[in-house]
Structure 1
């Protein structure tokens, strides 16, 4: 899972990171709001915030604290060090234009999915997939596409770490059923999300490999269920995705 096992942890560092995450979740907050949300004393929160402000990771406006743009530079660095991202954005744009839907490029990190890039087509109305957002792989088409390319032992490790929580009543929550589904995805090269993450949203995803043959991510196209006919869901969009994935892999192998 690429996490450190064993060893000591610095609680002060964990507390600062919890404050950072809560500032994002609350879209800015006062000391008292953070203290209540994290069950910490106001003095402890204030000490951590003062340190984060001094380090330029947090800014203060009146009595409200926000994350600073320092994180923007870090985020760009993290995203750009993934070689596949250098060309994935243009192919995601192409998918969105051709399908007129919401298109995304997704990678896996520590057993979770991460939206690396998104683009909305002409008739896209769903904006749940924001850049940087993490999600359970088994609930999405892109996530299942990636899982289908991983060793089964790794898939089981991911399930043991994160579980199989239900996003909707259609989500696969049984490990044996998921493994069977992943075999089918691997065979046909396409994964489907039939309202499994959000009710009213269907999606199709395909994995893409790097020059070494290992999966580097997945492209996916999502649309409101009422605009996704069966033929479009099972034939038209998969064909488009497979074509774009092939172009991506070809260019990626030469870069």
Structure 2
């Protein structure tokens, strides 16, 4: 085996270990070796290297992601023009709606939460900066997909599929395309318990001067608080106004 191939395999193993430690919210050597199907000695060597380089910390035999990733993540976020421009508008949307407001971008075919803001009545959700989700399971993701060309959407679906995150998740490609057409017609997308049971979400795309979605903004709240006119008119209008303000600021900043 060539040195180049060996190095690539080692790099892949390192990344698999980091991802597994994150997904498991901390793990020991044996647990990781079993999960990855790697020799314990190999996993241990990688863990020791990651710890010495300060990417992992060890507590009572369990390895955790270190705070160094906060520095890396904040650097990534701060270079995103849409984050810097949208942040005050997302805060205003949360205050105006009283609910949970979000900003999401697409990366490698997944939705990535970039920022969230909590209004006075917001419930606590699992979302956080850097969290990745399947685009079709969220109103945010559907708002982005609806403003992308068909071949891009097909590539994303071929890569990530349509997993049933909840019983309401869309699992049929044609049903998804029907919904995306509706999103394009009315300008905003909805998520009716498609990622989180009991929660509804309304999202609008943030597009550039070519009408390509670069991000999406949304309001999420319990289904019991998002019904009737509030679901069909009040919140959609708030979200659409916020998206428009962000788009204008992006265009002329």
* Same fold by TM-score greater than 0.5: yes
Map 1:1-255; keep pairs closer than 5 Å: 10-211=8-209, 213-255=211-253
Runs of 4+ in structure 1 deviating by more than 3 angstroms, as ranges, are none
SS at 2:180's partner residue?
Answer: helix
Map of 1:3 onto structure 2? none
User: What CA distance in whole angstroms lies between the structure 2 residues aligned with 1:211 and 1:142?
Assistant: 19
Would you say the 8 A contact 1:96–1:120 is kept in 2? Answer: yes
Aligned residues: 249
Q: What is the Cα deviation at residue 53 of structure 1?
A: 1.9
Aligned counterparts of 1:23 and 1:109: Cα–Cα separation in 2: 21
Measure the CA separation in 1 of the matches of 2:124 and 2:226.
Answer: 13
User: Could you say what secondary structure the match of 1:87 adopts?
Assistant: helix
* 1: CA distance, partners of 2:56 / 2:198: 38
Instruction: Give the stretch that moved more between structures: 49-58 or 220-229.
Output: 49-58
Q: Structure 1 CA distance, aligned partners of 2:84 and 2:144? A: 19
* Structure 1 runs not aligned, ≥5 long: 1-6
Quote the residue 1:4 is aligned against: none
- RMSD of equivalent CA atoms: 1.8
CA shift at 1:115, angstroms? 0.5
* Secondary structure of the corresponding residue to residue 54 of structure 2: coil
Give the unaligned 5+ runs of structure 2.
none
State the secondary structure of the residue aligned to 1:150.
coil
Q: CA deviation at 1:205?
A: 0.4
Q: CA deviation at 1:212?
A: 5.1
1:178 Cα deviation from its structure 2 partner: 1.2
SS of 1:29's equivalent in the other structure is coil
User: Deviation at 1:135?
Assistant: 0.8
> Which stretch of the first structure deviates more once superposed, 244-253 or 29-38?
29-38
Q: TM-score of the superposition, structure 1-length normalised?
A: 0.92
